[in-house]
Structure 1
Amino acid sequence: MNKRANGHSAQPQSRINCPSSAKERLPSVDPYGFERGEDFDYESYEELMSEYLAVLTRRSIKWSKLLQGRSRVEKNMKVKRYVRKGVPNEHRTVVWMAASGAQEQLEKNPGYYRSLLDAQHDARLVDTIRTDLHRTFPDNVQFRRTAEPCLQSPLYNVLLAYGHHNKAVGYCQGMNFIAGYLIIIVKDEEKAFWLMDALLGRILPDFYTPAMLGLKTDQEVLGELVRVKVPAVWQLISDQGVMWTLLVSRWFICLFIDVLPVETVLRIWDCLFYEGSKILFRVALTLIRHNQEIILQGRNLPDICESFKLITKGPYVEDCHTFMQKIFNEPGSLSMATIAKLRATCRSRVEAEQS
């Protein structure tokens, strides 16, 4: 997997080196432990975050009043609206755990996570996971062996436990980045394990099984949605004979990690845990629809692939608050009934191709 996009480190077209005072004020590592690249635009980041922090402060007050110290989150229109407007970091663990059902599973299964770690381990699973540990977020200082504490240890535990918990999935590349993100945010490996269970077992079933049937199906579903909502792009992709898996597999399998800035990914995950997998289509459709002029300039496969990388960078996706407002407006209506119908059709097609 390529080195991930670093927080808000896009490369504006007419970037001006920011004054040394801005660089002195901001650390070279973001709040999540990711190193900022040499091209990081400190001035733009300061300007953006000064506005976003005001939003987060307002949201934090509202969430504190809503939760009142409870670890339960109701499913209603008010909470849905709150989630879409963003969950502040201090409330993320509680909201993710409650909304996804992970908290309920943790409470129903006391000691289960530890029992998985204490059991005899599959040697092949252990070797595969260990091989990927040092490849997980090489630009994050918390995952380096010299870090204290080093997050490679809880990452190994979560992946090992999950591999034994869900033998149909075991372990595959991409899961290390998801588990790593969860550990960074929730700072508790047992909670990260149960959130993995919610994501891979209920929200995104069959995404990470050996056949990856769910993943392949949803990539095809996106293609069908693009045909209806952005027909010019669909026509270009069809005319060039490009497979959707070449363009969006990283978007889906890594849930936009290593694709979009970290704050934007976390906002997407807020909605993913609360509303389910539909959010992935909204994000993908918004990126494609908003940037269709860039995509339509492509004349061949390399051009099109490059355009799909280009559209995930820059101010549009860095301003996570505005971007999240766009994903609920730009693609238009997107009902679960529509997605379910498309999934049934596309799954049959994928199964036929695999057989």
Structure 2
Amino acid sequence: HMVDINIIHAAVFLLMCRRLLEADKKSLKSVSSEGGHSGSRRSSNGSASPTSLHNGTDQSNDSNDKTWNLWGRIVNNWGDYQRKNGKQLKEMIRCGIPHHFRGLAWQHLCNSHSSPSKEKYSELLRQSSPSEKLIRRDIARTYPEQDFFKDKDGVGQEVLFNVIKAYSLVDREVGYCQGSAFIVGLLLMQMPEEDAFAVFEILMREYRLRELFKPSMAELGLCMFQLESLLQDHSPQLFNHFQAQGFHTSMFASPWFLTLFATTFQLQLATRVLDVFISEGMEIIFRLGLGLLLSSEKELMEMDMEAMLKHVTKDLPQFYDKEPDLLFQRAFVCVKYNSKKIKRITTRWEKEYMTMRSKEHEEQVEMRRLRTENRLLRQRLDEMESENGQLADKLIQDRVNRALEAEEKIIMGKELSIAKRQLGMQNSHPPGQLFISFVWILMDFMFYVGESQSTSYFICLIFQYEPLYSEAFVMQLQQQLVHTKLQEAEATSTIVDLQDKLCDLRERNRELEDNSNAAALQEELIAVKMREAESSMGMKELAHKLHQLEDNWQKHMSRMATSRRSNNTKHHKVAMQELQEEVLSSRFREAKMFTEVTEARHRIMELETSNQICMSKLHRAADDSSLLKERSRVAIDNEKILRQELNEATARLAHTESKNQEALMTLRLREAESSMEIAELKQRISSLQTK
């Protein structure tokens, strides 16, 4: 530690000697120039003399010597002087640190002598960073007017690359961001690269610069909000004018915070800004920014947005590059900076920022929910379309089956009528013909009624009547018995099929919810009741006819009771009676089957009605789904259009910013060239004057 102090003392002593030699050379040049032009100056101002000029030069040299001696003592005894004369040191830093002491003063202000970053620096340089290509691309655009960074692949660009690369490896979250190269460049022009890396690492960590360079840029948004709030407090008229013109602070103030005015002012003023920033923190950026705006309040109130942007980014920096003391005076005199108020502003911004982030999160969640619902609706629509197709196929198949059954029924009816006519022609015995007619009427009645009591009653009547029949009639009854059994089997299979269809329709009816309108339900109910009324009327008419037939049958039985003959054998009667019982039982079973078929058809008719209702519901659901599809498509198209517009606006903004940066760099290059030409001309003039 003692060796480091001795080295610092020696360096300070050498710097002081160099400064004194430069001051002596300047004084000699000024005296010689004054002597060469003494005649012209005497003609314009008779009081001027070489003696007075020499006295003025001596006074300036004395003040410079005092300043250098004072800063030399401060740097040698930094800790003691800072504890004893902290306020005086702050004021001296505001006035500017001498160039030769600036690097040491910055290290003392940051307390980077004891930083462990220096030890890690050489090890970091041996590693590779994922941001090396970006760093190489940007360092050529960092201070191109300075000789130290001008040459491609020169020493300046190489050390700048090393420091930025090393920090990108230390802070993986931030990595490399544009703008940080200008701050590193200022440091490298004042100190070696190891010291510059240590100071830059402290600035990023302890001065919260890394928060500005994070990917979210939340800290930069906070700084913009704080600057707008301070501007509103200092000049509400100017703030309202900015709002009316759409002139937001983010359009011009972002480089102030990201580069600490390094891209706004020239190098001399930018280093003074960094002096005060290292001493006092981010407060100086707010003060200088407000000082710039408030100093031209009247001019800005009369300008539009484009003129204000040009005035703030070009005219004001050019003016204050020539008057840096005036800028710092206005920053510390005209601007009121209250740390408590800044904390309140920060708290308010954090609440608004959290509200905005929560709102954005809710919008994102809602968007994801809508997309999920849209996807589910599409899936449901596809399922409903497939189910609709299946139902349509089943409905068509059912209609085809019903048409086939109706055709078979018609054919069976025709065959039955033909069989009745043939039976009537073959059987000439009146009681047998009357018996067959009665049996078929009974079958028709059972087909419509299906009542067990009436069936048992007519069976008793039939067995009371015991006429004689021929063998041909018996054979005919046997054939009819076989045919009836076949019809019974077909009817059984038909009933099974209809029951299966009935189960399918019931299952589909359970799956489909009835959301039909009340009017449609009333219409369907009226239609069903009309069909029931028609069927009940037909039943009544059939019952009336059956009652008449029963009366006629009683009369016939009373007439035929007297004409019974008893010459047939008992065996023939028993056989005939068995055949009659078997035929009647077959007829009754057939009648029951027809009754079940009728009930199944009635149920099918009801299910068809409910199926129509479900089909109307499906149509409405399909319409709603198509409407939702259309709305979703329109929303997606609008979202694509908005995204395209946003991308175009972002591209235009980036193009405009790049153009502005290029124009600024070109202007600075021209200014540097002009300043160099002016310096060369001054040297020529001074050399000519000495000759």
**The TM-score by the shorter chain falls in which range?**
0.7 to 0.9
Name 2:142's counterpart in structure 1.
136
Higher Cα Rg: structure 1 or 2? 2
Residue range with higher mean Cα deviation, 312-321 or 160-169: 312-321
Asked if 1:196 corresponds to 2:200, the answer is: yes
Q: CA deviation at 1:109?
A: 4.6
Name structure 2 gaps, 5 residues minimum.
1-32, 34-58, 361-691
Report if aligned partners of 1:72, 1:98 keep a CA contact under 8 Å in 2.
no
Asked if 1:153 corresponds to 2:158, the answer is: yes
Q: Deviations over 1:275-297 (max 9, x none)?
A: 11111001001111111112112
Name 1:118's counterpart in structure 2.
126
- Quote the Cα distance in structure 1 between the aligned partners of 2:60 and 2:236: 34
Report if aligned partners of 2:224, 2:249 keep a CA contact under 8 Å in 1.
yes
Q: How many matched pairs? A: 300
**Structure 2 counterparts to residues 94-243 of structure 1, below 5 A:** 94-105=104-115, 108-119=116-127, 121-122=128-129, 124-145=130-151, 150-186=155-191, 188-205=192-209, 206-243=211-248
Report if aligned partners of 1:136, 1:176 keep a CA contact under 8 Å in 2.
yes
Report if aligned partners of 2:139, 2:161 keep a CA contact under 8 Å in 1.
yes
Asked if 1:85 corresponds to 2:95, the answer is: yes
- Quote the Cα distance in structure 2 between the aligned partners of 1:327 and 1:52: 27
| Alpha-carbon distance change, 156 to 104 in structure 1, aligned in 2, over 3 angstroms | same
Report if aligned partners of 2:125, 2:165 keep a CA contact under 8 Å in 1.
yes
Report if aligned partners of 1:287, 1:312 keep a CA contact under 8 Å in 2.
yes
Q: Deviations over 1:60-107 (max 9, x none)?
A: 3321232336588736212212211221111111211121233332xx
Asked if 1:62 corresponds to 2:60, the answer is: no
- Quote the Cα distance in structure 2 between the aligned partners of 1:269 and 1:52: 26
Name 2:679's counterpart in structure 1.
none
SS at match of 1:128: helix
Asked if 1:319 corresponds to 2:323, the answer is: yes
- Quote the Cα distance in structure 1 between the aligned partners of 2:314 and 2:63: 28
- Quote the Cα distance in structure 2 between the aligned partners of 1:71 and 1:117: 32
| Alpha-carbon distance change, 302 to 54 in structure 1, aligned in 2, over 3 angstroms | farther
| Alpha-carbon distance change, 109 to 304 in structure 1, aligned in 2, over 3 angstroms | closer
Name 2:443's counterpart in structure 1.
none
Report if aligned partners of 1:117, 1:161 keep a CA contact under 8 Å in 2.
yes
Residue range with higher mean Cα deviation, 219-228 or 173-182: 173-182
- Quote the Cα distance in structure 1 between the aligned partners of 2:60 and 2:260: 23
- Quote the Cα distance in structure 2 between the aligned partners of 1:219 and 1:194: 28
Asked if 1:306 corresponds to 2:310, the answer is: yes
Name structure 1 gaps, 5 residues minimum.
1-24, 26-50
Q: Deviations over 1:289-346 (max 9, x none)?
A: 11111211222x3222122124433444422233323321111x31322222222322
More helix by share: 2
Name 1:345's counterpart in structure 2.
348
Report if aligned partners of 2:265, 2:318 keep a CA contact under 8 Å in 1.
no
- RMSD (CA atoms): 2.8
Q: Which structure exhibits the higher relative contact order, with contacts defined as CA atoms closer than 8 Å and separated by 6 or more residues?
A: 1
SS at match of 1:307: helix
Report if aligned partners of 2:118, 2:195 keep a CA contact under 8 Å in 1.
no
Q: Could you state the TM-score of these two structures normalised by the residue count of structure 1? A: 0.76
Percent identity, aligned pairs only, is: 21
